[in-house]
Amino acid sequence: MTFPSPGDKQSLTMAVEPEAGKRRLSTAKAMQEAITQRMERDESVFVMGEDIGSYGGIFSSTTGLLERFGSERVRDTPISESAFIGLGIGAAVEGMRPIVELMFADFFGVCMDQIYNHMAKIHYESGGNVRVPMVLMMAAGGGYSDGAQHSQCLWGTFAHLPGMKVVVPSNPYDAKGLMTAAIDSDDPVVFVFHKGVMGLGWMAKNDRAIGAVPEEEYIVPIGKARVAREGTDVTIVTLSLSVHHSLDVAEKVQSEGISVEVIDLRSLVPLDREAIVASVSKTGRLIVVDEDYQSFGLSGEIIAVVAEHDPSLLKKVSRVCVPDVPIPYARELEYAVLPTRARIEAAVRDAVAT
Amino acid sequence: MTLPTTQTLTDAARRDLLSTMVLIRTYEEAIRAAYYADKKPAFDIGAGLVPGEMHLSAGQEPVAAGICAHLSAEDAITATHRPHHLAIAHGVGLRPMTAEIFGRETGLGRGRGGHMHLFDPSTHFSCSGIIAEGLPPALGQAFAFQRQGNARVAVAVTGEGAANQGAFHESLNLAALWQLPVVIVVEDNDWGISVPRSQSTSIASNADRAAAYGMPGVRVEGNSVEAVYEAAGEAIARARSGGGPSLIEVHTLRLWGHFEGDAEGYRPDLDTVPEHDPIPIYRDRLLETGVLTDGQYEAMQSSAGERVEDAIDFAKGSPTPDPLGHLSYVFSEGANS
């Protein structure tokens, strides 16, 4: 068995977005397909994590991979996140392309040293001489009463620490293309999938969790935001599940003559600052919708991007985030802190009222 | 009296072990001199030719020489915040290593890493400044070698303080579970900075902990390079032949402070420490048994002196990094943020 050198690129073909009515997949299946297609063509790609084998991933990110590729390349691990994430790093350094799953983003507390002090820093500390082509994927987000330790998004924390690309897809098409790009990347990529966009049968899901996905391999480039909906009155910059809530609100207020533009960031690192500035230049009103905690995070960063570019662009700014409390358990309390459609709609109305 | 000749440990091999130890010591003494050279009259840790914390490995040469004699540049080794002895014994180039310690553009990490963060892909050498956290990546290197179906091994070196960290225990379990070709080496130098082993560790020998994970464990007493050589040879051969991981603890010696500038007021054995210096002890043994002549020893010292001087000169003569390059190398491609 030979491994391609870390610098060898796979196909970088970009597909056009599929026509309506074409083959439809859930986000989970789209991720599985991306991993399968890369594993078929590249022996150096392998998958590792807790319950990613016969269970298929607690949130179905790896369903069917064990049956297809066997237990040498699809490995269940002990509940030893430091050991197996670090193992992924060492394997990546030696030319493999590990896809490692941290079951919940919330679990980073037991293994963060490997993530931020090793995975993310080795390339820099080595002056570019050592590459760590590794995907660290993890489930995030709440809305199903899983409590304070199993419902957090936390992508802003990873994005804050230098050396990791941070990818957060909102839909099946992007999930496949971004996963393929993440596997191909010579840099460590944190791939955060919100449970609510996966299209799981056992959890409330949005209508767009199942969507058209081309069968062939394609790349969605990491670092390019998507205009999910064009508009002229107010810009919502958001990501992941909140994209769908924002689109729902945009559709609802359209009949009242309020035109909302929705920017789906798709990645935090690199951040598509141009897309943010371009949209706010058009609308002059900015709402950031983020299911991560409000303070010291993504939402403040987005506003700073615009303010540093030209503060006079901003006629109105607001945030719809999780206020700075742990995610509560009881449904009534949890939905009081999540960025719901009702909160987003109120923010939109407030923005256009001035 | 003559020393027993084993199949691998010939008299020439013994001289090689001593020679490696002499090279390491010569290097550490030179770094020490460069470190203090321009920190007078008042010690300023961030000033001078060699800034920052400096953890030197004098006294621990037997560990490095005894292990690395069994390794080639194709084998991987991970070290700790105190990494120089292992890097030198494993064959990391003295010039780029020294340039990195001096923070120069010609260094292993182009001045981005420093003395605790040395990475040399040509010899698969790396280190980590975080206690016990160099072990998991070593497992990954061993995993890659296992998947590639070659006979390469990874050696993960850590200190006795690391044996009380979670990552240590996670790593031993996973290494044994997957029968990885890795050897875990604990350098027990008796001290975790100022805390003696007796106040940090519940058992007398960390080698006993190997049994908990179903792997062989051995403790080497006496800071003897030949005893390390023998134990490492057995463990590395086992790993190469598919026999899985092993744990070796070596009772070694921290001859100097935790870092340079450490007055070691906490250390009651300070006066007698030099008596246990492993280099004169081993040298005298080889001289007494006729393995080594005075002339051969002088030649070792002089060769080491020349190599180290060359490396220091190279570092001093190398350019410092362009400050405008501080954003480079966060990623291999694309924008930083």
Tell me the chain A residues in contact with residue B109 when contact means C-beta distances shorter than 8 Å. Answer: 124-127, 129
Q: Starting at the edge strand that comes first in sequence, how are the strands of the sheet with A267-269 ordered?
A: A74-76, A45-49, A97-104, A135-140, A189-194, A165-167, A267-269
Residues in chain B: 337
A176 and A61 both lie in a single domain: yes
Among candidates B267, B297, B303, which has minimal Cα distance to B283?
Answer: B297
Cα–Cα distance, A271 to A291 (Å, whole number): 17
Cα–Cα distance, B13 to B230 (Å, whole number): 12
pLDDT of residue B39: 86
Cα–Cα distance, B222 to A207 (Å, whole number): 69
Residue ranges of domains in chain B:
11-318
**What tens digit of pLDDT does each residue of A51-88 get?**
999 999 999 999 999 999 999 999 999 999 999 999 99
State how far residue B269 is from chain A, nearest Cα, in angstroms: 35
* A185 alpha carbon, distance to own chain's centre: 15
Joined together, the tokens standing for residue A188 give 């460590």
Please tell me the total count of domains within chain A: 2
Tell me the C-alpha to C-alpha distance, in Å, between residue B324 and each of A318, B52, B109.
36, 21, 16
B87 — alpha (psi -120 to 50), left (phi > 0) or beta?
alpha
* Full-model pTM: 0.95
Among candidates A267, A147, A245, A265, which has minimal Cα distance to A197?
Answer: A245
A66 and A188 both lie in a single domain: yes
Angle B8-B12-B18 from CA coordinates, rounded to 5°: 100
Q: Which residues between 176 and 235 in chain B have a beta carbon less than 8 angstroms from any beta carbon of chain A?
A: 177
Tell me the C-alpha to C-alpha distance, in Å, between residue B280 and each of B83, B91, B224.
22, 23, 12
Among candidates A59, A64, A28, which has minimal Cα distance to A211?
Answer: A28
**Residue A184, domain member (yes or no):** yes
Task: Check pLDDT > 90 for residue B215.
Answer: yes
Domain boundary among A212, A240, A255: A212
Tell me the chain A residues in contact with residue B145 when contact means C-beta distances shorter than 8 Å. Answer: 94
Cα–Cα distance, A141 to A143 (Å, whole number): 7
Cα–Cα distance, A140 to A299 (Å, whole number): 17
Helix (H, G, I), strand (E, B) or coil at A128: coil
Q: Are the beta carbons of A126 and B109 separated by less than 8 Å?
A: yes
B11-318 under CATH 3.60.21.10, yes or no: no
A276 and A329 both lie in a single domain: yes
Query: DSSP string spanning A239-308?
Result: -THHHHHHHHHHHHHHTTT--EEEEE--EEES--HHHHHHHHHHHSEEEEEEEEESTTSHHHHHHHHHHH
What is the β-pairing status of strands A267-269 and A165-167? antiparallel
State how far residue B130 is from chain A, nearest Cα, in angstroms: 8
Task: Check pLDDT > 50 for residue A16.
Answer: no
Angle B276-B280-B286 from CA coordinates, rounded to 5°: 125
Q: Are the beta carbons of B107 and A127 separated by less than 8 Å?
A: yes
pLDDT of residue B1: 54
Among candidates B44, B24, B70, B53, which has minimal Cα distance to B117?
Answer: B53
Among candidates B185, B207, B230, B206, which has minimal Cα distance to B79?
Answer: B185
A198 and A330 both lie in a single domain: no
Task: Check pLDDT > 50 for residue B306.
Answer: yes
Q: Give helix B11-37 / helix B278-288 axis angle, nearest 10°.
A: 150
Beta-carbon contacts of B79 under 8 Å, excluding residues fewer than 6 positions away, are B86, B87, B118, B125, B126, B127, B128, B134, B157
Cα–Cα distance, B64 to B223 (Å, whole number): 11
Query: DSSP string spanning A198-213?
Result: S--TTS---GGGEEE-
Q: Place A240 in a pLDDT band, splitting at 50, 70 and 90.
A: very high
In a mutational test of the A interface, the residue from B104, B171, B332 whose CB has the highest number of chain A CBs within 10 Å is: B332
**Residue A2, domain member (yes or no):** no
Active-site annotation of A, residues: 150
Which of B135, B154, B333 comes nearest A187 by C-beta?
Answer: B333
Query: DSSP string spanning B101-132?
Result: HTT-TTSTTTTSS-TT---BTTTTEEE-SSTT
B159 at A interface, C-beta within 8 A: no
**What tens digit of pLDDT does each residue of A272-291 get?**
999 999 999 999 999 999 99
B211: enclosing H helix or E strand:
helix B209-212
Task: Check pLDDT > 50 for residue A15.
Answer: no
A194 and A237 both lie in a single domain: no
Domain boundary among A154, A184, A212: A212
State how far residue B174 is from chain A, nearest Cα, in angstroms: 7
Tell me the chain B residues in contact with residue A90 when contact means C-beta distances shorter than 8 Å. Answer: 76, 136-144, 154
**What tens digit of pLDDT does each residue of B80-120 get?**
999 999 999 999 999 999 999 999 999 999 999 999 999 99
**What tens digit of pLDDT does each residue of A141-151 get?**
999 999 999 99
Which of B124, B149, B334 comes nearest A223 by C-beta?
Answer: B334
pLDDT of residue A204: 83
Which of A91, A113, A128 comes nearest B332 by C-beta?
Answer: A128
Cα–Cα distance, A194 to A239 (Å, whole number): 10
Q: Which residue of A has its CA nearest to B77?
A: A90
What is the β-pairing status of strands B76-79 and B154-159? parallel
Q: Which residue of B has its CA nearest to A4?
A: B148
Cα–Cα distance, A82 to A323 (Å, whole number): 30
What secondary structure letter does DSSP report for A140? E
Better pLDDT: B185 or A11: B185
Averaged pLDDT for residues B32-49 = 90
Tell me the chain B residues in contact with residue A112 when contact means C-beta distances shorter than 8 Å. Answer: none
State the CATH number of the domain containing residue A321. 3.40.50.920
Q: What amino acid is encoded at B126 in this protein?
A: S
Range of the domain at A33: 24-212
A56 and A174 both lie in a single domain: yes
B336 at A interface, C-beta within 8 A: yes
Q: Which residue of B has its CA nearest to A83?
A: B136
Residues in chain A: 354
Return mean pLDDT, chain B: 96
**What tens digit of pLDDT does each residue of B117-172 get?**
999 999 999 999 999 999 999 999 999 999 999 999 999 999 999 999 999 999 99
Beta-bridge mates of residue B183? B155, B246
pLDDT of residue A245: 97
Q: Which residues between 284 and 303 in chain B have a beta carbon less than 8 angstroms from any beta carbon of chain A?
A: none
pLDDT of residue A250: 98
State how far residue B160 is from chain A, nearest Cα, in angstroms: 18
pLDDT of residue A116: 98
A251 and A189 both lie in a single domain: no
Among candidates A95, A178, A86, A160, which has minimal Cα distance to A130?
Answer: A95
Tell me the chain B residues in contact with residue A163 when contact means C-beta distances shorter than 8 Å. Answer: 330-331
pLDDT of residue A2: 44
Q: Place B188 in a pLDDT band, splitting at 50, 70 and 90.
A: very high
A43 and A170 both lie in a single domain: yes
Q: Are the beta carbons of A126 and B119 separated by less than 8 Å?
A: yes
By the 8 A CB rule, do B24 and B61 touch?
yes
State how far residue B172 is from chain A, nearest Cα, in angstroms: 9
State the CATH number of the domain containing residue A141. 3.40.50.970
Cα–Cα distance, B314 to B319 (Å, whole number): 10
Q: Are the beta carbons of A89 and B137 separated by less than 8 Å?
A: yes
A331 and A245 both lie in a single domain: yes
Helix (H, G, I), strand (E, B) or coil at A196: helix
State how far residue B319 is from chain A, nearest Cα, in angstroms: 15
Task: Check pLDDT > 50 for residue A3.
Answer: no
Q: Place B42 in a pLDDT band, splitting at 50, 70 and 90.
A: confident
Tell me the chain A residues in contact with residue B331 when contact means C-beta distances shorter than 8 Å. Answer: 123, 163, 165, 187
Q: How many CB pairs under 8 A join A and B?
A: 168
Which of B124, B139, B333 comes nearest A83 by C-beta?
Answer: B139
Q: Is B323 exposed, middle or buried (0-12, 13-18, 19+ CB in 10 A)?
A: exposed
Helix (H, G, I), strand (E, B) or coil at A318: strand
Task: Check pLDDT > 90 for residue B274.
Answer: yes
- Go through A266-300 and write b for each residue having 16 or more CB atoms within 10 A of its CB, e for each that does not: bbbbbbbbebbbebbeebbbbbbbbbbbbeebbbb
Joined together, the tokens standing for residue B172 give 């031993």
